Structure 1
Amino acid sequence: MANVPHTAAWFDLSSPDAPRARAFYGGLFGWPVHVLDGSGTYALVGDDGAGQPTGGIGQAGPDAPYTGFAVYFRVDDLDAALERAVELGGARRLEPHPVPGGDRLAVFTDPDGNAVGLLGR
């Protein structure tokens, strides 16, 4: 299979009831789910034996930039990709901010209102 640029790198589910969503998707797909803190607001999803989570499930608060699933795509230049999304009719929802590992992430909605994430430098 050829290397496809800008493939999905992460998924995030923002739910008004994160514990319910974690139980549902963990039960449906057998996903290992690891809550990060005592508040239960965010959990990593993935095989902790491999040390590489593949996504997360978090609590959507009243100021959440989106609810539902967002898929994050890896890009070389996050700022340029976010600007290009806006030029093509998208709207910024979550401004770029740092994440562990040296990358940054941002979220926009496409012209249909779907939340799409970008992950890069």
Structure 2
Amino acid sequence: MRSNVPAWFDISTPDSERTRTFYKELLGWNVTVLDETYALVGGADGEPTGGIGQAGSGSPYTGVVVYFPVEDVEVALQQVEKLGGTRRLDPQSVPGRGRIAVFIDPDGNPVGLVSP
């Protein structure tokens, strides 16, 4: 597992249908809508490399978040906090992706973590 290479990305937006259409037309992404809140996106080979989600009032962030692979999301979040970052989305299981979490770095950027 290489932690310096992004493993996934999410775009969280208040209008996911508009955003899916925008990126599909701009970049030629394949879009697979899972439900009214989330769609998988990827390249021509069909392998999903990210997702577009519907942000609501309780969403932990809007915008783009890049997820980096780590061995253990919880251990990595503890290190984040020691280094001055803060948790934004506590660890949670995602079918087919393992566990994810999001933190805010000391400059205010949301960054994701993913572990098996």
**1:48 Cα deviation from its structure 2 partner:** 7.5
Equivalent of residue 53 in structure 2, options 55, 58, 79: 58
Alignment check: 8 A CA contact 1:6 1:75 kept: no
2:91 counterpart of 1:106: no
Q: What is the SS of the residue equivalent to 2:24?
A: helix
Aligned-pair RMSD on alpha carbons? 1.8
The number of aligned residues is 116
Structure number with the higher strand fraction is: 2
Q: What is the SS of the residue equivalent to 1:26?
A: helix
**1:101 Cα deviation from its structure 2 partner:** 3.0
Structure 1 runs (4+) deviating above 2 angstroms are 3-6, 47-50
Q: Taking structure 1 as the reference length, what is the TM-score of the superposition?
A: 0.87
2:7 counterpart of 1:9: yes
2:16 counterpart of 1:21: no
2:100 counterpart of 1:82: no
Q: What is the SS of the residue equivalent to 2:106?
A: coil
Where do 5+ consecutive residues of structure 1 fail to align? none
**1:4 Cα deviation from its structure 2 partner:** 4.9
Counterpart in 2 of 1:67? 62
Counterpart in 2 of 1:42? 38
Percent of aligned pairs with the same residue?
57
Q: What is the SS of the residue equivalent to 2:71?
A: coil
Structure 1 residues 23-45: Cα deviation after superposition (integer angstroms, max 9, x where no partner): 111111010111102xx211000
**1:102 Cα deviation from its structure 2 partner:** 6.4
